[in-house]
């Protein structure tokens, strides 16, 4: 199934290296087009979020970066682990 909000489709051809095509077929579980469409939609949503953050001043040294995302992920995992520990 394609991502929500997609009402029409357009047939197109995409050339991929053989190993990536095989991977996409396996991940798509018989629906490679849907798998690729999901990836593109996720990328589009990420771009829209980055644009929104930029409009609200998160640019330059305040910009969202991969390293910053990874660091925040580490902080959230540590917090969840701390909360999961039984109180002493």
39, part of any domain: yes
- Closest Cα to residue 3, out of 46, 45, 34, 27? 34
Whose CA is closest to 44, among 5, 1, 12? 5
Residue 57 lies in a domain: yes
Inside any domain, residue 9: no
Task: Please check whether residue 12 lies inside any domain of the structure.
Answer: no
**Residue 2 located in a structural domain:** no
- Residue 61 is part of which domain span? 18-84
List helix spans (H) across 6-65: 18-28, 32-55
Q: Identify whether 70 is part of a domain.
A: yes
In a domain, 13, yes or no: no
d(CA 63, CA 32): 34
pLDDT tens, position by position, 22-72:
999 999 998 999 999 999 999 999 999 989 988 988 888 888 888 888 999
pTM of the entire structure?
0.61
Q: Please tell me the total count of domains within the chain.
A: 1
Q: Residue 5: what pLDDT?
A: 61
């Amino acid at each position: 199934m394609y991502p929500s909000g997609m009402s029409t489709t357009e047939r197109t051809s995409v050339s991929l290296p053989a190993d990536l095509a095989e991977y996409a077929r396996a991940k798509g579980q018989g629906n490679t087009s849907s798998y690729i469409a999901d990836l593109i939609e996720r990328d589009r949503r990420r771009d829209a979020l980055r644009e929104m953050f930029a409009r609200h001043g998160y640019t330059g040294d305040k910009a969202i970066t991969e390293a910053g995302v990874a660091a925040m992920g580490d902080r959230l995992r540590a917090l969840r682990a701390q909360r999961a520990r039984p109180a002493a």
